[in-house]
């Protein structure tokens, strides 16, 4: 409702602006070409000036009262009032008309940028369906509580995060992930707010209230994305603060000293000084630089990449090192049984005993064993279960003592075995104090991880992996992917220490990027120059701890993020160089009287408009 109101308000303003420009042009043409008295001409020019520039004069006066004297409104007013004073009425009016046309076109360009981003992030749900007394009732998503059951029909947005308890459907998650391929949801699947139900009917048990939901956090993130300024934006703000008083002083010198020193006409140099002021308006820089960053953030969001502020675009564009967590970042975080090595028993017996022993554990290793066994487990004969966290499980199965765990766990029970090295996690097993074999469980590499590492190596000095996993597993993954350096068996605090060493040794002006899953790696994500969280869907820690969030699990999106950041920074630098270069040239030409005030307006408005249009290129990632 609020967005619709703002849209109507903008449309109304646009209509008023067009009417003002047309009316001012009619009055201007009347004064220029009609056969009326000189007094009537002056009054008609004055009326045209008030219609075209009345709001500019009012803004200048309000800002002066606030103590904000030197802005573009002040420059336009002093230049045009001065033109009236030296009886250059047509120039004064046309300056305002052309200025307003330029402002209108710039506003349309900025509106296009904002509209593109709002369309990309149009994920706010309007309502939620709750069943009350056998009837579906539409309520506000903010009124739904944790534990409530909501119903999502075909074509509707999923309003809150939860678990599907009934139904099956394909959902469009493109607004969150940037991926066009639909996701399949069924009973037991996690449903993420902001996705659109393409087909089917879903009953979802709500697990997070609206304020804590994925869609709410993303909207908050995008809303505040422009609050953290980049160095380039801060430079422009400071530059404008000193630049404007400097050009006003320069105009005064130009108006006063040459007539005295050269004994020439005062009106000639006053006109040049006024032209100098019109050219000097810094609007091209003030508008285009923030818009460039804003468009870059919009272009990234189109790809399912959320960047929290302009300052992070700057850091992302120039990496020294890209550092990765392993599990869930370069690998899928889905453990599977990849090898079974029995000793004195069959493969099936070894797998069955381990699956039964781990039956009551929720550890990913236990889950992978049960999935590999793929049969219903009869729990009647499983007794005296004892789980030692981080080591293994002891259980009595059919009267036999079964142990399943790591090498240290076997040592605790004096089981003789030969320690092995394998690219994964090894689960050793023993039956009645006798070693009966081992099972290797490995994490799968992500499909695009290898190509992503290859691309990143060409962009940064080095790629590094920090992981708490075993040296064997870490080295295997690093070798498969081509990672330059790997540090394994690290605790979270040790990861931070290692990252700090990299930050200390980085090249000047460059950044260290850390990529993690955002849950276990929150301290490292926070410490890095830029923290990128992978797979932000449903992960609160990812969105809160990281500076950028990739809304799917693809490492290739890290490459895309850096490329978008580089393109955005290139556009911003182009705007700064172009605007300052053209301004400098025209200021010199204006000071020597080579261009008139008409040319000055075209220079100012044209430069601003071209810079704004250049900024909009960042919307296309």
User: Does position 561 have pLDDT exceeding 90, yes or no?
Assistant: yes
Q: How far apart are CA 102 and CA 278, in angstroms?
A: 13
Residue located via tokens 């408009």: 609
SS3 label, residue 615: helix
Averaged pLDDT, 419-447: 87
Q: Is the pLDDT of residue 280 over 90?
A: no
3-state SS, one letter per residue, for 198-246 = EECCEEEEECCCHHHCHHHHHHHHHHCHHHCCCHHHHHHHHHHHHHHHH
pLDDT in tens, 482-505: 999 999 888 777 888 999 999 999
- What is the pLDDT confidence band of residue 435, given thresholds at 50, 70 and 90? very high
Q: Residues near 143 by Cβ (< 8 Å), separated by ≥ 6?
A: 128
Between these two residues, 240 and 164, which has the higher pLDDT value?
164
pLDDT at 140 over 50: yes
Query: pLDDT tier at 293 (50, 70, 90 boundaries)?
Result: confident
Residue 76 sits at the vertex; the CA angle it makes with 72 and 77, to the nearest 5 degrees, is: 115
Q: How far apart are CA 93 and CA 532, in angstroms?
A: 52
The Cα–Cα gap between 102 and 92 comes to 16
Spatial contact of 162 and 204, defined as CB atoms under 8 Å apart: yes
The side-by-side arrangement of strands in the sheet containing 169-172 is 183-185, 169-172, 196-199
Identify the DSSP state of 125: -
Q: Residue 141's pLDDT band (boundaries 50, 70, 90)? A: very high
Q: Which of 346-355, 387-396, 404-413 has the lowest mean pLDDT?
A: 387-396
Mean per-residue pLDDT, 87-94: 83
pLDDT tens digits, one per residue of 40-89? 999 999 999 999 989 989 988 998 888 777 677 777 788 788 778 778 78
Q: Tokens at residue 2, please?
A: 């609020």
Cα 510 from Cα 28, distance rounded (Å): 55
Residue 6 confidence class, pLDDT cut points 50, 70, 90: very low
Which residue among the candidates 325, 469, 552, 604 is catalytic per the annotation?
325
Q: What does DSSP assign to residue 507? A: P
- Rg of the chain, C-alpha, whole Å: 33
Given a contact cutoff of 8 angstroms between Cβ atoms, the answer to whether 69 and 49 are in contact is: no
The helix or strand, by DSSP H or E, that contains position 171, with its residue range, turns out to be strand 169-172
Task: Yes or no: say if 332 and 589 are a contact pair by the CB < 8 Å rule.
Answer: no
**Statement: residue 429 has pLDDT above 90:** yes
The DSSP 8-state label assigned to residue 617 in this structure reads G
What distances in angstroms separate CA 110 from CA 52, 233, 248, 571, 610, one per listed residue? 21, 17, 28, 16, 12
Average pLDDT rounded to a whole number, residues 351-369 = 87
Alpha helices in 34-88 (DSSP H): 38-66, 72-85
Q: Residue 221 — pLDDT band, cuts 50, 70, 90?
A: low
Q: What is residue 226's predicted lDDT score, i.e. its pLDDT?
A: 53
The predicted structure's pLDDT at residue 448: 93
Q: What is the rounded CA–CA span in Å between residue 514 and residue 507?
A: 16
Count of Cβ atoms closer than 10 Å to residue 527 Cβ = 17
pLDDT confidence of 364, banded at 50, 70, 90?
Answer: confident
What is the C-alpha to C-alpha distance for residues 43 and 21, in angstroms, rounded to an integer? 18
Checking if the pLDDT of 286 tops 50, the result is yes
Query: What is the mean predicted confidence (pLDDT) over 2-31?
Result: 76
pLDDT at 590: 82
Evaluated on CA atoms 483, 487, 493, 499, the torsion sign reads negative
- Of these ranges, 39-43, 285-289, 295-299, 489-493, the one predicted with the greatest mean pLDDT is 39-43
pLDDT of residue 4: 42
Q: What is the mean pLDDT of residues 99-115?
A: 71
Phi and psi torsions of 233, nearest 5°: -70, -45
Q: What is the separation, in whole angstroms, between the first and last Cα of the chain?
A: 30
pLDDT tens track for 316-340: 999 999 999 988 889 887 788 989 9
| pTM recorded for the entire structure | 0.73
SS3 156: coil
The per-residue pLDDT for range 539-549, each reduced to its tens digit, is 566 677 788 98
Least confident of 285-289, 381-385, 450-454, 590-594: 285-289
CA distances from 433 to 77, 280, 393, 413, 420 (A): 94, 88, 14, 7, 19
By the 8 A CB rule, do 465 and 326 touch?
A: yes
- Highest-scoring range by mean pLDDT, 148-157, 190-199, 222-231, 423-432: 148-157
Q: What is the mean pLDDT of residues 589-603?
A: 78
Q: What local confidence, expressed as pLDDT, does residue 401 receive?
A: 94
**CA dist list (Å): 312 to 321, 486, 501, 515:** 15, 26, 21, 14
Q: Identify the pLDDT of residue 5.
A: 42
HSE toward the beta carbon, residue 416, CA cutoff 13 A: 1
**Does pLDDT of 611 surpass 90?**
no
Examine the residue annotation and report whether 107 is marked as an active-site residue of this protein: no
- CA–CA dist 356, 402 (Å, integer): 9
Q: Which of 255-259, 366-370, 418-422, 444-448 has the lowest mean pLDDT?
A: 418-422
Contacts of 294 (CB under 8 A, 6+ apart): 113, 114, 117, 225, 226, 310
CA distance 166 to 186: 7
Q: Which residues pair with 387 in a beta bridge?
A: 393
CA distance 355 to 137: 46
Tell me what percent of the residues of the chain surpass a pLDDT of 90. Answer: 34
- Mean pLDDT over 451-455 rounds to 95
Which segment of 16-25, 41-50, 274-283, 331-340 scores lowest on mean pLDDT?
Answer: 274-283
Which pLDDT value is given to residue 387?
84
How far, in Å, are 25, 51, 69, 87 from residue 92 at the CA level?
A: 13, 13, 21, 9
Q: Which residues contact 423 (CB under 8 A, 6 or more apart)?
A: 440, 442, 472, 473, 476, 477
Angle at 269 between CA 265 and CA 270, to 5 degrees: 105
Select from 266, 240, 310 the least CA-distant residue to 75.
240
Tokens representing residue 251 in the block:
């105009």
What's the residue count for the chain? 621
Query: What would the mean pLDDT of 398-415 be, rounded to a whole number?
Result: 91
Ordered structural domains, the chain, with CATH: 2-119+226-294+567-619 (no CATH), 128-159+161-207 (2.70.150.10), 310-330+446-546 (3.40.50.1000), 333-444 (3.40.1110.10)
Average pLDDT of every residue of the chain: 84
Cβ pair 202, 151 in contact under 8 A: yes
């Amino acid at each position: 409702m609020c967005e619709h109101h703002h849209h109507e308000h903008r449309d109304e303003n646009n209509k008023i602006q067009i009417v003002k420009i047309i009316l001012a042009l009619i009055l201007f043409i009347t004064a220029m070409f009609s056969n009326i008295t000189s007094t009537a001409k002056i009054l008609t020019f004055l009326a045209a000036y008030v219609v075209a520039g009345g709001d500019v004069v009012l803004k200048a006066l309000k800002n002066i009262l606030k103590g904000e004297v030197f802005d573009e409104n002040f420059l336009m007013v002093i230049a045009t009032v001065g033109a009236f004073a030296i009886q250059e009425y047509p120039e004064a009016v046309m300056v305002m008309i052309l200025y307003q046309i330029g402002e209108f076109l710039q506003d349309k360009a900025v509106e296009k940028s904002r509209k593109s981003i709002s369309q990309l992030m149009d994920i706010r749900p309007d309502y939620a369906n709750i069943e009350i007394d056998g009837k579906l009732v539409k309520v506000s998503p903010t009124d739904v509580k944790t534990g409530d059951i909501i119903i999502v029909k075909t074509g509707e947005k999923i309003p809150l995060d939860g678990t599907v308890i009934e139904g099956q459907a394909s959902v469009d998650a493109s607004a969150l992930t940037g991926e066009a391929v639909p996701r399949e949801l069924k009973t037991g699947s996690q449903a993420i707010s902001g996705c659109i139900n393409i087909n089917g009917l879903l009953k979802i048990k709500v697990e997070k209230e609206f304020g804590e939901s994925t869609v709410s956090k993303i909207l908050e993130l995008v809303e505040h994305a422009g609050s953290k300024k980049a160095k380039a934006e801060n430079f422009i703000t400071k530059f404008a603060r000193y630049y404007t008083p400097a050009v006003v002083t320069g105009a005064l010198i130009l108006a006063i000293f040459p007539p005295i020193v050269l004994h020439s006409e005062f009106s000639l140099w006053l006109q040049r000084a006024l032209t100098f002021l019109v050219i000097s308006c810094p609007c091209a820089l003030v508008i285009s630089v923030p818009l460039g960053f804003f468009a870059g953030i919009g272009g990234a969001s189109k790809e399912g990449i959320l960047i929290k502020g302009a300052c992070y675009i700057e850091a992302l564009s120039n990496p020294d090192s890209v550092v990765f967590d392993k599990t869930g970042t370069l690998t899928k975080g889905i453990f599977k049984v990849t090898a079974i090595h029995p000793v004195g028993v069959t493969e099936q017996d070894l797998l069955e005993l381990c699956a039964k022993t781990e039956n009551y554990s929720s550890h990913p290793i236990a889950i992978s064993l049960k999935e590999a066994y793929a049969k219903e487990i009869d729990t009647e004969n499983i007794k005296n279960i004892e789980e030692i966290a981080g080591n293994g499980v002891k259980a009595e199965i059919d009267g036999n003592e079964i142990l399943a765990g790591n090498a240290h766990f076997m040592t605790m029970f004096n089981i003789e075995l030969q320690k092995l090295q394998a690219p994964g996690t090894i689960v050793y097993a023993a039956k009645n104090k006798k070693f009966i074999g081992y099972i290797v469980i490995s994490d799968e590499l992500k499909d695009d991880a290898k190509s992503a590492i290859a691309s990143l190596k060409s962009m940064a000095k080095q790629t590094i992996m920090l992981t708490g996993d075993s040296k064997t597993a870490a080295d295997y993954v690093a070798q498969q992917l081509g990672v330059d350096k790997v540090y394994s068996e690290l605790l979270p605090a040790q990861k931070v220490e290692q990252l700090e060493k990299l930050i200390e040794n980085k090249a000047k002006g460059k950044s260290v990027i850390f990529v993690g899953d955002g849950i276990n790696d929150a301290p490292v994500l926070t410490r890095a120059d830029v923290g990128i969280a992978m797979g932000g869907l449903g992960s609160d820690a990812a969105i809160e701890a990281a500076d950028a969030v990739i809304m799917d699990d693809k490492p290739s999106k890290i490459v895309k993020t850096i490329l978008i950041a580089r393109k955005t920074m290139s556009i911003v630098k182009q705007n700064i160089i172009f605007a300052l270069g053209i301004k400098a040239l025209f200021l010199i030409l204006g000071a020597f009287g080579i261009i008139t005030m008409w040319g000055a307006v075209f220079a100012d408005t044209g430069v601003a408009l071209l810079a704004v249009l250049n900024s909009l290129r960042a919307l296309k990632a």
